[in-house]
């Protein structure tokens, strides 16, 4: 069993890491911002901790797969992400990057919940690099008319 302090640490770390990503989404005025990203990650972390808890309780009584809940989190987040993707004015698609960032923070929650801190921290840094710095590179490479201030224009973000 995990100590209460370890549970609090993991839940708190999930809020901090996803909050960094959600803050970028909030600053750039995306549909899913700070609170949405934090809640997705926090919920994923809680589900992973619950999975570990269930495994610990029943491991000697029956076969329990601790990855089963995590697999369902990944499936469920697909539906939430799909809700963030919209078709706007013909072939323009918006929300793909937001959907992807929600998927990433769900993974962060699972990683932090299981105690895979290094991967969670590196993923957070890499995600922030992609969200903050590649937007600028995209505009320079593809031009402003391609990335017309909206998100995910023509599926390239």
Q: In the chain, what are the domain boundaries?
A: 4-155
At residue 46, the pLDDT reads: 96
Cα separation, 52 vs 3, in Å, equals 12
Question: pLDDT category, 13, cuts 50, 70, 90?
Answer: very high
Mean pLDDT of the 93-102 span = 87
Say whether pLDDT at 153 is over 50. no
Question: pLDDT category, 144, cuts 50, 70, 90?
Answer: low
Instruction: Pick the closest to residue 84 from 100, 70, 69, 68 (CA basis).
Output: 100
Question: pLDDT category, 154, cuts 50, 70, 90?
Answer: very low
Mean pLDDT of the 121-150 span = 81
Question: pLDDT category, 149, cuts 50, 70, 90?
Answer: very low
pLDDT digits (tens, 9 = 90+) for 19-56: 999 999 999 888 788 999 999 999 999 999 999 998 88
At residue 140, the pLDDT reads: 84
Cα separation, 152 vs 20, in Å, equals 20
Q: Which residues have CB under 8 Å from 104's CB, separation 6+?
A: 21, 123, 127
Q: In Å, how far are 21, 98, 144 from 28, measured between CA atoms?
A: 11, 11, 16
Cα separation, 110 vs 114, in Å, equals 6
User: What percent of the chain is predicted at pLDDT more than 70?
Assistant: 89
Cα separation, 114 vs 6, in Å, equals 11
Backbone conformation region of residue 152, classed left if phi is above 0, alpha if psi is from -120 to 50, else beta = left
pLDDT digits (tens, 9 = 90+) for 59-93: 888 888 888 888 889 888 888 888 778 766 677 77
């Amino acid at each position: 069993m995990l100590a209460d302090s370890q549970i609090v640490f993991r839940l708190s770390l999930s809020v901090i890491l996803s909050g960094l990503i959600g803050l970028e989404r909030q600053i750039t005025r995306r549909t899913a911002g700070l609170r949405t990203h934090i809640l997705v990650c926090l919920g994923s972390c809680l589900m992973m901790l619950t999975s570990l808890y269930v495994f610990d309780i029943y491991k000697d009584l029956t076969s329990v797969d601790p990855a089963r809940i995590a697999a369902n989190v990944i499936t469920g987040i697909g539906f939430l992400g799909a809700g963030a993707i919209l078709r706007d004015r013909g072939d323009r698609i918006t929300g793909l990057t937001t959907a992807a960032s929600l998927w990433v923070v769900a993974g962060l929650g699972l990683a932090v919940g299981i105690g895979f801190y290094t991967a969670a921290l590196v993923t957070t840094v890499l995600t922030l690099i992609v969200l903050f710095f590649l937007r600028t590179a995209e505009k320079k490479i593809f031009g402003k008319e391609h990335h017309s201030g909206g998100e995910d224009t023509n599926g390239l973000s």
